Amino acid sequence: MSQREQRETGKASAVILRVGTRGSQLARTQTGHVREKLSNLGFDAQEIILTTRGDQQQTVPIAQIGNDGVFVRELEKALLEDRIDLAVHSLKDLPTAMTPGLEFACVPPRATPFDVLVSREGIGLSNLPTGARVGTASVRRRIQVQAIRPDVKVVPIRGNVDSRLKRLENDELDAVILAAAGLERLGHEARISEVLRPPNFWPAVAQGALVIQINSANHRVRELLRPIHHPETYFATIAERALLSSLAGGCLAPIGSWGRFEQGKELSLGGCVLSDRRGKIEIVTATCSSQVGDSESAVLLGHNVAAELLNQGAQPLLDIMRDDENVSD
C-alpha cells in the first residue's frame, strides 16, 4: 500500500504526514518542534525540505528578490500539488492575503514575540558606545534603533542566525538585532544582551508564532492538527495581521504590532507605523483592547487599531513607505 493510500484509508499503523519546511537550520528546528508534537500524538511526521527564493539569494536584499512571500511560495505550491500534507512557516513570513486553496489549520503556542539585542560585550542598546556598529536587515528594526540611538551606525546584514552571530565574534559588528524566538529555539538564549519591548521597540506582526498551513481540501489533516492548536496565539496574531492588512502593508513593511491577552478574553493590541524619509524619523503608535473569542472579533480589533493609527496621522507615513524600495524585514 502506498503512503498516499495509507493516509487516505487510515490502515497504516501510524498516520503518515509529509511535513514541508525550508532547509535553514532555524526552519528545520522549528519544524522539528512541530514534528515532535505530532509524533507524540501518534503520527509519523516525515520531513520534506524545500528551497525558497529567499533561501537561494541570501546576499540580496529581500525587496530586490520580489514581493512578500519569498520564504513561502514554494511550500505553498507543494501543498497545492499534494507533494506535502502540511507546511510549517514562521507566521510573520506569510503575506496577509491568503493563497486561494490554502488555509491555516493550526497555530501552536507562541514563543517570545520581541526583538533582542545581542552585543559583543553583553551590554544593552543604551550602553553601546558612540559609533557602534549594529547589524540588521530590517527597516523596522533600523528605524527604531536610530530613534533610540541616532549616534550608532546601522549595518545591513542577511544570513542565518549563526552567521549573524559570527560577525560579532569576527569584530565586524558590535551588536545585532534578532528575533528572541529564533535564538530561543536554537538554544542561544544565553547570548541575549537585552530584550527590546514596546512601546520603545515594536516587533514584527506575528513575530514568534508558527503556523501550519494545509490544502483547504484536506479536511482530515485539519482535524488531526486540532490538538496542538492554541486559540489565544491564533486570535492575537490574526488581530495583528488584520491591522497590517488594513494599512495595506505586506509582511516586509516597517509596521510593528503586538497582541496579548491580559484579563480573561480581553485582548490588548498595539501597533506602530514607522518612517525615516529624508533622515526624519517618525513613529505613530496606537493601542486598543477588546473581548475576543472568535476570528471575527479578532479581525475587528485589528481594523480598529489600524483606524486609530490613521487618526493619529499614520497615512503620510504609509504613503512614504510605499515609495521606499528597501523595506525588507
Q: Which residues contact 164 (CB under 8 A, 6 or more apart)?
A: 135, 157, 176, 178
Helix (H, G, I), strand (E, B), or coil: what is residue 146? helix
Compute the chain's Rg from CA coordinates: 20
- C-alpha grid cell, residue 188: 542561544
Q: Which residues contact 117 (CB under 8 A, 6 or more apart)?
A: 124, 125, 134, 175, 176, 177, 192, 193, 194, 196
C-alpha 90/C-alpha 22 separation (Å) is: 10
C-alpha 204/C-alpha 243 separation (Å) is: 12
C-alpha 10/C-alpha 237 separation (Å) is: 33
Q: Which residues contact 9 (CB under 8 A, 6 or more apart)?
A: 1
Contact 245, 118 (CB under 8 A): no
Given 68, 82, 85, 93, which residue is catalytic? 93
Question: Does residue 93 have an active-site annotation?
Answer: yes
Helix (H, G, I), strand (E, B), or coil: what is residue 201? coil
Give the β-pairing of 210-215 and 86-90. antiparallel
Name the region of 264 (left: φ>0; alpha: ψ -120 to 50; beta: rest): left
- C-alpha grid cell, residue 183: 535564538
Neighbouring-strand partners of residue 312:
none
Which sequence positions are flagged as catalytic? 93
